[in-house]
Amino acid sequence: MAQLFHYRRVDTDMAAVATLERDAELMLRVREGDAESFALLLERHRRPVIHFMYRMIQDQAVAEELAQEVFLRVYRARSTYEPTAKFTTWLFRIATRLALNWIRDNQKKIANHASLDEDPADGPAVQLADTRPNVEEELLRRARCEEIKRAIARLPEKQRAAVLMHKYSEMEYSQIASVLGCSESAVKSLLFRAYETLRKRLVHLAVSPVKGAPDESGGSGKSGPRIR
């Protein structure tokens, strides 16, 4: 009878999210003890979470450790999961809290990192073959991307998190607000200030505007650098 109750609960919840994302369906199955569904969720979201952590804290090893902790917390909280919001919103709420806590506890270590990304392809110019057609353009592109990433790394914590979720994870204002525990208008204000700061710091790059970036009034404007 208890098992039948569990199946009925799953069926009821599945009906409520019939058109919802695949993630919610998988997490509902994880809630009922399906290890294979958790493995699928891990496969789908591990890399995005590691990338988010990496850009937040600028340390690859720690980013991987914290990403592991994120999914450990997801698994531990499986019995209380309810599909009231997108799974990614819940996931990034956990990730953001962990990242912000780590940042606050490791400010000195963060200050010693000059960039957000390590590029193993970078090296002395003599290692590049002279016959490559656009070597100079590629080096300039890399330098430009690194400068943008360094500028993002210098943003205040919440502004940095908002920009990463907005541009890299393509999350909606409502999702970011839920993750950060604030209103949508507060998210738009965070993004406006962040993009305005980036625009001033990167004006020498003559970067293109960000489509959909919020303007000062909270609406959709076009200020801010294009971030890749």
Nearest in space to 17 (alpha carbons), one of 92, 82, 90: 82
Same domain, 170 and 213: yes
Q: What is the pLDDT at residue 111?
A: 55
Q: What is the mean pLDDT of residues 90-98?
A: 94
Residue at a domain's end among 108, 128, 159: 108
Is 138 a member of any domain? no
pLDDT tens readout for residues 106-121: 876 655 554 444 443 3
Do both 89 and 159 map to the same domain?
Answer: no
Q: What is the pLDDT of residue 137?
A: 73
Residue 129 in domain = no
- Radius of gyration, CA atoms only, the chain: 20
Q: Does the pLDDT of residue 124 top 60, yes or no? A: no
> Cα–Cα distance between 219 and 188 in angstroms, integer?
8
Q: Are residues 149 and 101 in the same domain?
A: no
* CATH code, domain with 26: 1.10.1740.10
- The string of pLDDT tens digits covering residues 129-167 is 444 446 777 777 778 788 888 888 889 999 999 999 998
9 within a domain of the structure (yes/no): yes
Residue 72 in this model has a pLDDT that exceeds 90: yes
100/159 same-domain check: no
Res 186 pLDDT > 60 = yes
Question: Which tokens is 153 given?
Answer: 């790394």
Q: Return the pLDDT at 95.
A: 95
Token look-up 């069926």 returns 11
Structural domain contains residue 68: yes
**What residue numbers bound the domain in which 83 lies?**
2-108
**Cα–chain center distance at 206:** 26
> Looking at the structure, do residues 162 and 101 belong to the same domain, yes or no?
no
Do 10 and 103 lie in one domain? The reply is yes
d(CA 208, CA 223) in angstroms, rounded, equals 9
Residues 192 and 101 in one domain: no
Task: Based on the fold, state whether residues 177 and 86 are members of the same structural domain.
Answer: no
Asked if residue 58 belongs to a domain, the reply is yes
Q: Of 81, 108, 135, which marks where a domain is finished?
A: 108
Q: What is the pLDDT of residue 187?
A: 95
2: number of Cβ within 10 Å? 5
Give domain status of residue 61, yes or no.
Answer: yes
> How many structural domains does the chain have?
2
Same domain? 6 vs 104 = yes
**Is residue 114 included in any domain, yes or no?**
no
Q: What is the mean pLDDT of the chain?
A: 77
The answer on pLDDT for 29 being more than 70 is yes
Domain final position from 108, 130, 154: 108
Question: Which pLDDT score, from 0 to 100, does residue 35 have?
Answer: 93
User: Is there a domain that residue 178 lies in?
Assistant: yes
